[in-house]
Structure 1
Amino acid sequence: MKYVDLHVHSNASDGTMSPSQVVAYAASKNLSAMALTDHDTVEGVQEALTAAASLPVEVIPGMELSALYHEKEIHILGLFADYKNPQLLKQLENLRAVRSRRNSVILERLAADGICITAEELQASNPDTVITRAHFARVLVERGIVSNMAQAFKKYLQTGGKYCPKKETFSPELALKLLKECRAFPALAHPLQYKFGTEELNGLVAHLKELGLAGLEVYHSSNNQYESMKLKEMAVKYQLLPTGGSDFHGKNKPDIDLGTGRGGLHVSSLLLEDIRNKHSKMYS
C-alpha cells in the first residue's frame, strides 16, 4: 500500500522546513505524493516541484485559503492548483497586504507592553514567508516569554483579543471562485476544528457544496477513528470525495509528523487517484 499526505506546510507560511526540505523528508518517509498547502500563498510551490524532480515523490501544487463563515475562520484546501494563475497571484498579494497590516498592529500592541519583536525574528531567515500568528508564537517561546506555543496563543494571540485583532479574509464565495479560477480541487480542511454544532457544520458543507466544493478532509491528525468515520458519512451525504493529510508544520507542531500525524494517520494513495480523476473531469 502506498501512502500520501495532502496537507503539508513549509516555511513559505507557518511551517519550519523549507519547501525542498519538506519534499526530501516526504521521500525519506516513503510517501508517494504530498501536497504543499501553505496558508494563503503558493510561494513555495516552485521550489518544492524542483526538489521533487530528482526524488521518488510527487508534489501536488496547492494552498490553504482562509475564509470567514458565521464569524469563524475556516480553511479551504486547493489541490492541483495552477499556481501561476495571474488572478490567484493578485488576490493572494492583496491578502498578504491585509495580513501585513494586521501584523503591524500586533507588533505595536506587544511593544506597548514591553515585548518588542523585529521583522527579522518573525521571518526566521525566510523574508518571503507569509507571517502568521504561529510566527509570533515561535518568537515568544524562543524569548522565554511563554513556555510553549499553546500558551502563546492563549495568552497573547487569541483572535480578537488584546494583542491580536480579527483578520480580514476572503468570503467563502470568493475563496471558491478563486480556486475555480486556478483550476484547483477544493476541499474543506479539518471540518471539526471549527467547533460548529452538527446542524451548523452541515449548513457550512451544504453551502460550500453549492459554491463548488468537491472534497472533505476526512482524515486529519486531530481526528480520532470515530470522527473520521462520521466525516466519511458526511462526505457521502454531500457527494464529496474524502481527502486527508497530517497538517504538518515541522517544529511548530512537534507532535505531528509528516504522513503519520500523531502516529495513526495513513492516507491511502487510492484517495489521491480518485481526486485526480475527479479533478480531471471538473476541468475537461
Structure 2
Amino acid sequence: MPPAVQHRAIDLHTHSSVSDGTETPAELIAAAVEAGLDTVAITDHDSTTGWAEAFAAASGTGLTVIPGMELSTNYGPASVHMLAYLFNPLDGGIIAETARIRDGRLHRAERIVEKIGEDYDLSWADVLEQSSDGGTLGRPHIADALVARGFVSSREEAFESILNWRGPYYEKYYAPSPLEGVAMIVGAGGVPVLAHPATHGRYRVIEESAIAELVEAGLAGLEIHHRDNTAEGKRWLFELADTFDLIVTGSSDYHGEGKPNRLGEHRTSPESLERIIALGTGTTPFSG
C-alpha cells in the first residue's frame, strides 16, 4: 500500500498549452505553487506530452504532480470526457487510440475552419498561430483565432456564437465510447473518473444504467465538485457515488487565461486522492 497522502490542497483537473490551456506545463506548475496547492494533476486532452516538463518544473518545489489525461469519448451524439490518472503512458492501446483521436480532432478542426472561412475572414494559418507544437489542436484554438481576428471578444463568446454546437459550423470527431475508454484506462493500469458529468442537471447525456455499466468495467469515480455541474446534477451524482461506492473528486478544470476557472477553486479530499493512488498501477505520482 502507498503511504497516506499528507497534502490538503488538491486540484485534479488542469490543462496546459499541450492541449487547450494558455500556459506551458512549466508555467502551469508555477501557477499551482503560487496558488498554494500541494498536489495538482496535469490532464491535457488526449496527450501525455506535458508530463516530463511538469515534473521537471515541480522538482524542488514540494508540489506533488499526479500524471493524468482527459480522454475524449463519444456517447451517442454527445462528447463525454474521462479523466485518467496514473496510467502507463507507454501502453500501446493508449498511444494508438489517443493518436487516432488527435488526428480526428485535427481534421475536424480543418473542416470547421473551412466552413467558417466561407463567412468570416479566417484561415487555417490563423488557427495554427494559436496552437503549440505537439499539442492537441481543437475548437479552443479556433476560438482563440476568432478572438485574435476580432470576430469575438473571448473564448466564451466564440463558443456561445460561432462555435456553438447547435450552429452551422459544428462537426463531430472520432472518439471511442465511454465503455471503451474506461477499459483502455484500466488496461493501462490507470484510474478512470468521469469528468463534470452533470453540466445540465441529472438529464445530461449518460444515464444511470450506462454509469452502472461503466462501474462494472472499472469506472472509479465522479468529478462532482466542478463549477459546471448544476446543483441538481451534483445531488444526483452524490446519490450515484453512494450507490456504487465511487470516489468523489473536485477540481478547477484550469486553462490559464483560456477560461475563468481558477486553480484550487474546487478541490479533492486527501482520502479520495489516497484511493486513486492505491488503485493506480501504471505509474506513480511525482513528488517535487
With normalisation by structure 2, the TM-score equals 0.87
Distance in 2 of aligned mates of 1:215 and 1:223: 15
CA distance in 2, matches of 1:189, 1:125: 24
Letter of the 2:261 partner, please give it.
I
Instruction: Provide the residue aligned with 1:273 in structure 2.
Output: 274
TM-aligned CA deviation for residue 6 of structure 1: 0.4
Describe the SS at the equivalent of 1:101: helix
Q: Secondary structure at the match of 1:77?
A: strand
Counterpart residue identity of residue 183, structure 2:
K
Corresponding residue for residue 63 of structure 2 = 57
| Matched residue, 1:9 | 15
Distance 1:186 1:152, change over 3 A: same
Give the CA deviation at 1:187. Answer: 0.6
Identity %: 34
113 and 125 in structure 1: CA distance in 2 versus 1, 3 angstrom threshold: closer
Determine helix, strand or coil for the equivalent of 1:10. Answer: coil
Which residue type is aligned with residue 274 of structure 1? R
Contact 1:61–1:83 (CA<8 Å) still a contact in 2?
no
Q: Secondary structure at the residue paired with 2:10?
A: strand
User: Higher relative CO (CA 8 A, sep ≥ 6), structure 1 or 2?
Assistant: 2
Post-superposition CA distance 1:115-170 (Å, at most 9, x none): 22334644536221111211111121222101232221132213363222112211
1:257 paired residue among 238, 250, 262? 262
- Which residue number corresponds to residue 91 of structure 1? 97
Q: Which residue of 1 aligns with 2:82?
A: 76
CA RMSD across the alignment: 2.3
Alpha-carbon shift at residue 195 of structure 1 (Å):
5.2
State the alpha-carbon separation in 2 of the partners of residues 34 and 199 from structure 1: 28
One-letter identity of the residue aligned with 2:238: K
Gaps of 5+ in 2: 1-6, 282-288
Pair 173,202 (structure 1): closer, same or farther in 2 beyond 3 Å: closer
Asked if 1 retains the 8 angstrom alpha-carbon contact of 2:198 and 2:230, the reply is no
Query: Equivalent residue for 2:73?
Result: 67
**Which runs of 5 or more residues in structure 1 are unaligned?**
none
Aligned to 2:285: none
